[in-house]
Structure 1
């Protein structure tokens, strides 16, 4: 397995704004599937090459993507996602505008996750998913009663487990699939009683 990058705090509003842009989020999603050029991204996303090229440079400026020199030929630049372990400081340490921006990003991420889940369900329903992967859904819902410090430790343990399974593309078996993993933990807020 490949060594994972160290945790890196993202608190800069400009960096978060770069991540919040809808087209940049779509570019990052495509690049997570593998390296691409501005031209191939433009085709995949239905945009012009100038636009994807500009957004790639902005993502690179903020450290989200990097050039893949092994694939570039001539003036054509190929890009890949830069491996990072981004973390955000507690909301109490951020400005109100930064918290609002972070909430916007997280809401977009949750919507993207729901879309990915629905795409998987549609493909599985049509029988297009390979048989051995058709029911490869490990799903768990649960709750724990934890202190704030224990929740932090739980997350650190989860991240350590996630990193244990990371590997470089050259080390990946041919039969392996990209698996989407999501972790979210938040305090339970009971619904307000009905005012009947």
Structure 2
């Protein structure tokens, strides 16, 4: 691949991504069932409230309500060409760069939601770390990880984070456009001062 073609593809990928940092999105994400819905749509692909209810062992009315909340916050969208009559097909919105709103712009209730979302995500991350430790040897190369220590300025840490997001976008596939031999893979990155 030529450098020009790579640059053109990178520009197209960047154009498809957009940053979301509203309290409305934070509120939508701070519910465990909505996180499960997003995970299911991200791994299994489009679904109706009926197929989601069966997959997540929830009732259809509950799923419909939470899908509307996710739609209102721009995290899921319906697929009009697949929907018929009362049956709506849903998919996760691709290309979102979800960022936390600045703490100073959040109300006390929104800060509490942010703390709850962090708690839920941390529980999930700890469980993923356990799974990684337990299953890496038998994963046949499907589990990869890296740990590192380096010295960075605050600006360099910010640039590293942005480069990481660019790298994720370059390799991003949804369930509908993934190669046949692809599997859903959970990726995590965080950096924090060591002193």
**More deviation in 33-42 or 141-150?**
141-150
Match of 1:163 in 2: 169
Q: 1:120 to 1:50 in 2, by over 3 A?
A: farther
Q: Give the number of the structure whose residues are more often helix, by fraction.
A: 2
Q: Secondary structure at the match of 1:56?
A: helix
Q: 1:123 to 1:77 in 2, by over 3 A?
A: farther
Q: Per-residue deviation at 1:102? A: 1.9
- TM-score of the aligned structures, taking structure 2 as reference length: 0.79
Match of 1:185 in 2: 191
Residue by residue over 1:106-137, the C-alpha shift from the partner in whole angstroms, topping out at 9 and shown as x without a partner, is: 22123223445556777889x8xxxxx53321
**More deviation in 175-184 or 89-98?**
89-98
- Structure 2 unaligned segments of length 5 or more: list them: 1-8
Contact in 2 for aligned 1:42/1:52 (Cα 8 Å): yes
Match of 2:79 in 1: 68
Q: 1:117 to 1:174 in 2, by over 3 A?
A: farther
- Structure 1 unaligned segments of length 5 or more: list them: 128-132, 190-196
- TM-score of the aligned structures, taking structure 1 as reference length: 0.78
Match of 2:5 in 1: none
Match of 2:48 in 1: 37
Q: Secondary structure at the match of 1:85?
A: strand
